[in-house]
Amino acid sequence: MGIAIIGPQLYVDHPEYNDNLKLFYGSEDPLSQNLFSTLGSGAMLSNLAGKSLGYAPEASLAYIVNSGYDEKGKQDLSSILENMDSLLEYNKTLKKDPIRMILILSDINTQDRAYDTYRTKVEELKQAGIEVMTKMPYFNGHYFTTVAKIPYAPLDDVNSYYFDKAGETPDHVLYLPYANRVLAFPGEKTYFYYPSSFDVNYGTISTLAGFYALALQMDSSLTLDEFVEIVADSTITLRPDKEYRVTGLENVIYPSRLYDHLAAMKEN
């Protein structure tokens, strides 16, 4: 399937995702030419579709460089709307691997200029079979964020996940497991260890999009709203773990259980 991203500058030559890039449109936008943003975009892309690290390693990628801000540093949806229109037209030319989702690596809120037009465009894309996710995912009344994992804990020990900012998130939060990961770093065959607290927003959107991509392979008609409800129904509660000094946590997405729910739905 196809996945499109509108985000900051990207180091395109990393072998984790270079072969997946079917379309790349870069700009000279000075607001996106900083190392931190480039780190985040590369890490996000390798977490989503990296050959050895990603959830959807066979996805076809289209990437448009756009910081989402005007020359005065204010949120500007007009250029993002133009990008969305371009991707919609580009999608019409594809004979295989159509775009099923667009990830916008910007924080979008109701106070932004042209917000109403943006919402209309999102609905137009949905009718064309393309779902839109933003940097701070919020769908069907559910917020998403990531949980970290105790370093060096066994990979199969689910209770070694934790969230250290309880009370700072709204109600109806669903927690995505996003362990301390080694992901792509700008440079030829270069990787970097990313602590879980680093780039939590990019980790959230890329992990959620990766899970949705896996779900679409099982049921290509599954809308994002339907997927989110399946996710919400398949969460687990972590038990307090004294060994790691981790407190209990509800509504944690457990990939194998989510997969079982999707498989059961497909059978039915």
The model's pTM is: 0.89
- Give me the pLDDT at residue 264, please: 85
Whole-angstrom CA distances from 202 to 47, 119, 160, 187, 205 are 9, 22, 22, 19, 5
Residue 27's pLDDT band, with cuts at 50, 70 and 90, is low
Residues 6+ apart with CB under 8 A from 87: 4, 6, 62, 64, 99, 102, 130
For residue 41, count CB atoms less than 10 angstroms from its CB and return exposed for 0-12, middle for 13-18, buried for 19 or more.
buried
* Mean pLDDT of the 219-241 span: 88
Whole-angstrom CA distances from 188 to 13, 76, 104, 184, 196 are 7, 33, 26, 9, 23
Name the one residue in this structure whose structure tokens are 């371009």.
86
- Give me the pLDDT at residue 32, please: 47
d(CA 63, CA 46) in angstroms, rounded, equals: 13
d(CA 213, CA 19) in angstroms, rounded, equals: 18
Of 223, 216, 213, 253, the closest CA to residue 235 belongs to: 253
Name the one residue in this structure whose structure tokens are 């990961």.
181
Of 9, 8, 14, the closest CA to residue 187 belongs to: 14
Residue 256's pLDDT band, with cuts at 50, 70 and 90, is confident
Residue 37's pLDDT band, with cuts at 50, 70 and 90, is low
CB atoms within 10 A of CB 29: 16
d(CA 203, CA 45) in angstroms, rounded, equals: 10
Give the tens place of pLDDT for each residue, 6-25: 998 888 889 999 999 999 99
- Give me the pLDDT at residue 35, please: 59
For residue 257, count CB atoms less than 10 angstroms from its CB and return exposed for 0-12, middle for 13-18, buried for 19 or more.
middle
Residue 157 pLDDT greater than 90, yes or no: no
Asked which of 118-122, 145-149, 164-168, 241-245 is least confident by mean pLDDT, the reply is 164-168
Average pLDDT over the chain reads 84
Residue 138 pLDDT greater than 50, yes or no: yes
Asked which of 30-44, 55-69, 154-168, 193-207 is least confident by mean pLDDT, the reply is 30-44
The dihedrals phi and psi of 47, each to the nearest 5 degrees, come to -70, -35
Residue 89 pLDDT greater than 90, yes or no: yes
* Top-ranked range on mean pLDDT: pick from 162-171, 188-197, 209-218: 209-218
Instruction: Quote the longest CA-to-CA distance of the chain.
Output: 56
